[in-house]
Structure 1
Amino acid sequence: MADQPRRKPLAEQSTELRLAIMRLSRRLRQERADTELSASQFSALGWIAGEGPLTLGRLAELERVTPPSMNRTVNCLAESGLVAREGAPDDGRKVLVRTTEAGDAIMRETRRRRDAWFAKRFAALSPDERAVLADAADILRRIADQ
Structure 2
Amino acid sequence: MTRTTLDTAALAHDLRLAVMRFSRRLRSQRLDTSVTLTQVSALSTLKRHGPMSPGELAAHERVQPPSMTRVVVALEGKGLVTRTPHPTDGRQVVIGLTRAAEDMLATEARAREAWLSGQLQQLDPEERAVLREAAGIIDKLAGG
TM-score between both structures, scaled by the size of structure 2: 0.89
**Among 43, 48, 54, the residue aligned to 2:52:** 54
Distance 1:58 1:27 in 2: 30
In the aligned structure 2, how far is the partner of 1:135 from the partner of 1:49? 26
Q: Which runs of 4+ in 1 moved over 3 A?
A: none
Give the corresponding residue for 1:82: 80
SS at 2:108 equivalent: helix
Q: 1:95 aligns with which of 93, 96, 104?
A: 93
- Residue 35 of structure 2 aligns to a residue whose secondary structure is coil
1:32 to 30, 33, 38: 30
1:49 shift after superposition: 2.0
Secondary structure of the 2:79 match is coil
Unaligned runs of 5+ in 2: 1-5
Deviations for 1:67-106, whole angstroms, at most 9, x for unmatched residues?
A: 11100110000001011111234x1523111111111111
- Aligned counterpart, 1:123: 121
| Whole-angstrom distance in 1 between the partners of 2:75 and 2:8 | 43
Deviations 1:17-50 (A, max 9, x none): 1110111111111222310122211211111122
- Which residue identity does 1:100 align to in structure 2? T
The share of aligned pairs that are identical, in percent, is 41
- Aligned mates of 1:97, 1:125 — CA distance in 2: 42
Q: What TM-score do the two structures reach when normalised by structure 1?
A: 0.88
Runs of 5+ unmatched residues, structure 1: 1-7
Q: What is the CA distance between 1:144 and its match in structure 2? A: 0.5
Whichever of the two has the greater Rg, that structure is 1
> 1: CA distance between counterparts of 2:85 and 2:27?
32
Q: What is the number of residues matched between the two proteins?
A: 138
Alignment partner, residue 137 of structure 1 = 135
Q: What does residue 11 of structure 1 align with?
A: 9
Root-mean-square deviation (CA, aligned residues, Å) is 1.5
User: Where is the strand percentage greater, Structure 1 or Structure 2?
Assistant: 1
Separation in 1 of the partners of 2:51 and 2:101? 12
